[in-house]
Amino acid sequence: MSQYIIRRLLQMIPTLIGISIIVFAISQMVPGDYITASQNPNMTAERADQLRAIYGLDKPPVQQYFIWVKNMLTGNLGDSFQHKMPVTEVINTYVWNSFIIAFVTMILSWTIAAFVGVFSAQFQYSFFDKVVTLLVFLLMSLPSFFIGLLAIKYIALDLKLFPTGGMTTAGLNAGGFAYIKDVVEHMFLPVVVMTTLTVGGLTRYFRTGMLEVIRQDYIRTARAKGLQERTVIFKHAFRNALLPAITLLGFELPGLFGGAMILERVFAWPGIGQIYLASINMRDYPLMLGFTMFLAVLTLLGNLISDILYGVADPRIRLK
């Protein structure tokens, strides 16, 4: 097992090198840099050149690439131009805001998807199942920004049930419980929208998994023994239906820490996704490049974790 993990980790290296080259090349294709993008009217040509020299933007691209990679290997992603602090610190500041909503979303959507999927499979072809199937397709086809806007317009603005965006009420100077309550209120809509967006695909996954298990002989045996249907479904069938879903757990990793670029922007949530989107617009290369690599590493680690989890959960699978 440890051999397998080490080999997989080593295999990540060429992939990461490839990604770093592509991402760096793309960033070099962008005309203009942070100095021009910040559009400071008092900027003289001399001062701009000075700043470029300070940020290392005057060096040839190949040299810049190697400096960047060398620094990355020592855990230094450089300093963000915009935030005037190390990229790692920027990520660490905002990633947790993203993590909170992503984590709550994950718990919610997995719970809902498991229950709905299981019941939908148990009563296959029933009215409930048909409604679920159609809903799943609708949810899987939702453009995230559109559903976000709809929620803000009708639930937050028209009904005034929840705040329209942000993480805290401006000017709120409360601590403790009042602060938590305020954040939870702000979280509500983004979490509901994100859950809506993710729950469809998951439900489908659980339903298919359950359908496969329910047809097997040991389920018939369990029923023939005279076990209660509830026991058959949740004790015998559900556990096995969970197996394929466990692989999905690993794939959640980039979602948990990667932020939701579009929705965070729509809801003005101060998460890393929104900061990242801004870094692209502002040509804040160190932040943009650093976080892209961070995302790539998360994706690769997520794949590895899901493979390992699958092997752990199902002893029939041997990892070699």
Partner 1 sequence: MDQPVNRTEQLQEQLKIVKAESPWKIAIRRFARNRLAVIGLVILVIMSLICVFGPLFSPYTINETDVSNKNQAPNADYWLGTDKLGRDILLRVMLAGRISLTVGLVATAISVAIGATLGAVAGFYRKYADTIIMRIADIFLALPTLPILITLGAILSDLKVEPGKRIYFLMLIIGLLGWVSLARLVRSQILTLREQEFMQATEALGLRDNRKIFRHLMPNTIPIIIVSATLGVAGAIITESTLSFLGLGVVPPTPSWGNMITAANNLIDFRKRPWLWIPPGLCILITVTAINLIGDGLRDALDPKMKNR
Any idea how long the chain is? 320
Out of 123, 145, 234, 251, point to the residue binding partner 1 (CB under 8 A): 145
Nearest to 5 by CA among 316, 313, 300, 314: 300
Residue with Cβ nearer partner 1 (135 or 313): 135
Stretch near partner 1 under the rule CB under 8 A, chosen from 64-72, 99-107, 226-234, 296-304: 296-304
The torsion angles phi and psi of 156, rounded to 5 degrees, stand at -85, -45
Residue with Cβ nearer partner 1 (115 or 145): 145
Residue with Cβ nearer partner 1 (97 or 279): 279
Residue with Cβ nearer partner 1 (173 or 281): 281
246, 251, 257, 260 alpha-carbon torsion, rounded to 10° = -120
CB 189 within 8 A of CB 267: yes
Stretch near partner 1 under the rule CB under 8 A, chosen from 59-67, 72-80, 221-229, 273-281: 273-281
Out of 100, 192, 246, 262, point to the residue binding partner 1 (CB under 8 A): 262
Please tell me whether residue 261 binds partner 1 under the rule CB under 8 A. Answer: yes
CB 102 within 8 A of CB 112: no
Burial 134-168, CB ≥16 within 10 A → b, else e: eebeebeeeebeebbeebbeebbeeeeebbebebe
Out of 6, 9, 22, 43, point to the residue binding partner 1 (CB under 8 A): 22
Sorted by sequence, the CB contacts under 8 Å of residue 125 that are 6+ apart come out as none
Site for partner 1 in 274-293 (CB under 8 A): 276-277, 280-281, 288, 292
Out of 258, 271, 286, 290, point to the residue binding partner 1 (CB under 8 A): 258
Return the amino acid letter for 188.
F
Sign of the torsion angle spanned by Cα atoms 295, 278, 22, 34: negative
Out of 1, 6, 7, 18, point to the residue binding partner 1 (CB under 8 A): 18
Residue with Cβ nearer partner 1 (86 or 302): 302
Nearest approach, Cβ of residue 154 and partner 1 (Å): 9
Site string for partner 1, 112-141 (x = CB under 8 A): ---------------------xx--xx-xx
Stretch near partner 1 under the rule CB under 8 A, chosen from 10-18, 188-196, 220-228, 237-245: 10-18
Nearest approach, Cβ of residue 193 and partner 1 (Å): 14
Tokens of 57: 């933007």
Residue with Cβ nearer partner 1 (28 or 183): 28
Stretch near partner 1 under the rule CB under 8 A, chosen from 45-53, 148-156, 168-176, 229-237: 148-156
Please tell me whether residue 172 binds partner 1 under the rule CB under 8 A. Answer: no
The torsion angles phi and psi of 268, rounded to 5 degrees, stand at 50, 35
Residues that bind partner 1 (CB under 8 A): 14-16, 18-19, 22-23, 26-27, 29-32, 133-134, 137-138, 140-146, 149-150, 153, 157, 254, 258, 261-262, 276-277, 280-281, 288, 292, 295-296, 299-300, 303
